[in-house]
Amino acid sequence: MNQTTAPVLQKERIDILDSIRGVAVLGILLMNIPSMGYSVIGRDPFVLNETGLNYDIWFFNDWLVDGTQRGLFSLLFGAGILLFINSKSKLESPVSPTDYFFRRQLWLILFGLVNIYVFLWHGDILFDYGVCGLFMFAFRVWEPRKLLAGAAVCFILMLARENRDLYLDKKLISQGEAIEKLDTTTTKLTVIQKDVLEDMQAFRNRTKTENRIQRVERANTYMRDSYAHVYEFSVNRYLSNFFGYSYFGIWDVLLFMFIGMAFFKMGILTGADHTGSTP
């Protein structure tokens, strides 16, 4: 077997990393089971008035498993970048470690596209992580202190964005409610006031139970129909979420990738005092 395609030898494996990776993979499975079982309503149990064990399991997943396992998976992915490059640097091959790494990421992107456009899985992360890995490659030579600083920057950007969204929603509600109180028989609303009022009413309507049920019923109609209809619904749903996530929600993924790279270099993830030089 070619040395570059052979599986990792047992003596070269890192037991701690393998164990944590197993926990992360099982955690990701727990995260995705609601979406697999309930299609689009996996994260909205109130629509079905779920109680008892079903609600308890959802609550456990949403509050404990979801964020922690995604963070753990991202952390391991960041460490895996350095581990992969280090392992390829030891090979006697005309192909450089950089070439191997970029091929690996391009395969992830390809598998992600197949996942999205063929298997119609709206929860795909292979494409996202394939692209993020290409970005994180630029930081592989940073020392742990700089990597942790990069993680801190990502945390600040994530916190700022989420708080900005929160206060924009609160501002919209307060402005809309103030406009509602105006006597339109004596006060003519401006174009801006009309837009604010419409936006506030649309925001309020999205949270009404009857409207949530309608969205679920419409989605389930698509998901139980022909492949063409499932394709239309799933792909459009993925794309509508992807662009917002790529620009505003990706910071928590990059944050943990930075931490994973730092922890790997510090030996925390390998149980060693140091990891040696990195490419």
206-264 pLDDT per residue, tens: 878 778 777 777 777 777 788 988 888 888 888 888 877 777 778 889 999 999 999 99
- Residue 165 is assigned to a structural domain of this protein: no
- Residue 125 is assigned to a structural domain of this protein: yes
109 vs 126: CA distance, rounded Å: 6
149 CB-contact burial (10 Å; exposed 0-12 / middle 13-18 / buried 19+) = middle
251 vs 255: CA distance, rounded Å: 6
Pull the structure tokens for residue 187.
């006060």
C-beta separation of 61 from 37 below 8 A: no
pLDDT band at 278 (very low <50, low <70, confident <90, very high): very low
- Which has more pLDDT, 183 or 103? 103
Q: Is residue 126 scored above 60 in pLDDT? A: yes
User: How many structural domains compose the chain?
Assistant: 1
- Residue 180 is assigned to a structural domain of this protein: no
Q: Give pairs for 16-21: CB < 8 Å, separation 24+.
A: 16/269, 16/270, 16/271, 17/76, 17/79, 17/83, 17/269, 17/270, 20/72, 20/76, 20/269, 21/76
Range of the domain at 88: 10-148+228-266
Q: Is residue 11 scored above 80 in pLDDT? A: no
Point out the least confidently predicted range of 57-71, 96-110, 185-199: 57-71
pLDDT over 70 percentage in the chain: 87
- Which has more pLDDT, 151 or 194? 151
- Residue 191 is assigned to a structural domain of this protein: no
- Residue 255 is assigned to a structural domain of this protein: yes
- Residue 218 is assigned to a structural domain of this protein: no
Model pTM?
Answer: 0.81
